């Protein structure tokens, strides 16, 4: 059980009880079935056109996008370095124009690599 982390405080001090798991730090409890659901559910991330994205794919912007907290604008057609799929509010972590950024999949399209 030491590889589990609390979904609230992300601490690894958890206690296993019959039918549920409890965080020793914050007291949050969650059912054991939730662990089975998370491990069996494969997350599928799709681009703006419905193509399935995988780690290592290259994507391109489908519209101009002003970056929050920067004076940069990612133009239509800007290609990324190979992407990494992540959890959270932004599904994609990648580099574009030399900057590490997080993107939502609805703003990109998968680039077909020929060769």
Are 20 and 29 in contact, with CB atoms under 8 Å apart?
yes
Looking at the chain, the domain(s) classified CATH 2.30.30.40 span 45-110
Whole-angstrom distance, CA of residue 13 vs CA of residue 4: 8
- Name the pTM for this structure: 0.61
Pick the CATH number of 1-41 from 2.60.120, 2.20.25, 2.60.40, 1.10.150: 2.20.25
Q: How many CB atoms lie within 10 A of CB 29?
A: 14
3-state secondary structure at position 14: strand
Q: What's the number of CA atoms in the CB half-sphere (13 Å) around residue 74? A: 24
Residue with tokens 């972590």: 93
Residues of the chain with CATH 2.20.25: 1-41
CATH number for the region 45-110 comes to: 2.30.30.40
pLDDT (tens place) for every residue of the chain, 115 residues total: 446 777 778 778 888 888 888 888 888 888 877 555 454 346 789 999 999 999 899 999 999 999 888 788 999 999 999 999 988 888 999 999 889 999 999 999 999 765 4
């Amino acid at each position: 059980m030491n590889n589990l982390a609390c979904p609230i405080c992300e601490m690894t001090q958890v206690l296993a009880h019959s039918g549920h798991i409890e965080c020793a730090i914050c007291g949050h409890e969650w059912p054991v079935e939730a662990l089975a659901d998370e491990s069996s559910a494969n997350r599928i991330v799709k681009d703006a056109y419905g193509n399935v994205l995988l780690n290592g794919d290259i994507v391109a912007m489908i519209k101009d996008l002003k970056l929050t907290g920067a004076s940069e604008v990612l133009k239509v057609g800007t290609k990324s370095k190979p992407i990494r799929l992540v959890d959270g509010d932004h599904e994609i972590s990648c580099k574009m124009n030399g900057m590490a950024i997080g993107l939502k999949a609805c703003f990109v399209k998968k680039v077909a690599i020929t060769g």
